[in-house]
Amino acid sequence: MRLFAILLVAFCVELPLAARAADQSVSYFHDVRPLLASQCVACHKPDKTKGELDMTTFSSLLKGGKHGSSVVPGDPDKSKLIEMISGDDPDMPKDADPLKAEQVSMVTRWVKEGAKDDTPAPGTTHVDPPVYAAPPVITSLAFSPDGSLLAVSGYHEILLHKSDGSGLIARLTGEAPRIESIVFSHDGKMLGACGGAPAELGQVQIWDPLTHKNLKTFQPSTDSLYGLSFSPDNKTVACAAADRIVRRINIEDGKVLMEFKAHADWVLHTAFTLDGKQMISGGRDKAIKLIDAADGRFEDDINNPLEQIVSMARHPKEEQVLYGGDMGTPRVYRISVNTGRTAGRFDTNLVRQFEQQPGPCTAVAWSPDGSQVAAGSIGEVRIYDAVSADPNAPKSAIDPRAPFDPDKAPPQVHDSKRLMTLTGNIGPIYAVAWKPDGSVIATGGFDGAVRLFDAKTGNLLKQFIPVPIGPSAVQAAAPETRPTTAAAD
């Protein structure tokens, strides 16, 4: 029965394409682009341009590579692309089965018809609100600066809720199937999100949280985007990417003002300094990099590379950054050039180190006043004192108040005290946020449920599924639990 269903779906998909091929012009967006993506871009993409040819976008395809123009609109005989995919022993795809005769014919026909680009402009494709059979994983959530709204990630959408979880206000749907990061502008007038589809598109969406209108949609990458952040003046946004590039984008016109390409692996997080003159970024290469926001100049790694940086949050009032590592340790660093880093490999910007979590530290957050931090891992969120030292805890972090002397071992402070533990989450936690007045902590993650905790006591205030879904599926995805506050030992 399952095989029959698969064959039926395939038939329903192939039939319209065949019909279009017979009596309509070949579409670059619907026909050619998917073929190139599946057969060619593994060797012809920005970070691996074999023959200096990038085939991920229409413009780069027409630009060609070291052998000249790859496509001559209207003339297949002069188009290098057709030459490379044709014949009994074609050069492309390399080390793979040749394209089928009908595929070669389709691309040839597209070139002969003028090689037109019918790719819709970002943000112009209508997307209906998805229908959920089960709650999706929550990858990001954010409170509005006035504390009235809670934005939660969904599939192809952002869900705007009342901040107390009492009702869904709006569903902001867009083209990016995966929403990886949500953040409000500092003045609360914009809601930004980034995400995309792996190896296909990376999008930034800017919304008006009051009118629920999409203000801007940018598509600067052909791979997923992460770690969106607004500049202090709310005029630009920064985003990280799986293509290892950090970008700063002008919100007004979508122009990419800066590209930073010094990371060696996926970049997952960005943040601006308080004055907006510098940025920091971190990701899978374990480095938190300090960047000149104006020209993208690399200034320094502010940390010693210890763990992959899987979560990150900047201090609300000071030049410090909190990150969570893939091995489970949260750490706080000064945002500064790493003075004396070569002297014994001292981690001179390290301010505070917390206990190792039950698993990867996949979510971190600061309290609004910067006095506490939250670290989310598997099944729980631990809240720590981020100011006072715990005399009973081991010493492991450098005292930021002491002057640095390269001839001496750096002075240290005690690790911070755990204040409480928020329990009841099922599986990894990917998002933690404090309400701006400091009264509530929101969590979300693998089980698809939002939980609101009292920030003073740790008691569960409310638990709800943020997406519209049937009652039976809600119960299956978020079974009744009795979360408690477990004090630190």
Angle of the 2-23 helix axis to the 101-112 helix axis, nearest 10: 30
Q: Is 227 left (phi over 0), alpha (psi -120 to 50) or beta?
A: left
Under the banding of pLDDT at 50, 70 and 90, the label for residue 177 is: very high
Q: Which residue intervals of the chain bear CATH 2.130.10.10?
A: 141-477
Q: For residue 395, what are its two tokens? A: 């010493």
Q: CB of 451 within 8 A of CB of 482? A: no
pLDDT digits (tens, 9 = 90+) for 428-455: 999 999 999 999 999 999 999 999 999 9
Query: 164 pLDDT exceeds 70?
Result: yes
Of 426, 351, 336, the closest CA to residue 381 belongs to: 426
Collapse the DSSP code of 400 into the 3-class scheme (helix H, G, I; strand E, B; otherwise coil) and give the result: coil
Under the banding of pLDDT at 50, 70 and 90, the label for residue 183 is: very high
Predicted local confidence at residue 2, as pLDDT: 41
First to last CA, the chain: 55
DSSP state letters, 405-460: -TTSPPPEEEPPPEEEEEEEEEEEEEEEEE-TTSSEEEEEETT--EEEEETTT--E
Cα–Cα distances (Å) from 352 to 245, 332, 372, 437, in that order, read 29, 5, 12, 25
Predicted local confidence at residue 268, as pLDDT: 98
Query: 275 pLDDT exceeds 90?
Result: yes
pLDDT digits (tens, 9 = 90+) for 384-419: 999 876 656 555 555 544 555 555 555 554 467 899
Q: Higher pLDDT residue, 427 or 66?
A: 427
In the CATH scheme, what is the code of domain 141-477?
Answer: 2.130.10.10
Q: What are phi and psi of 467, to 5 degrees?
A: -105, 150
Mean pLDDT of 153-163: 97
The CA R_g of the chain, rounded to the nearest whole Å, is: 25
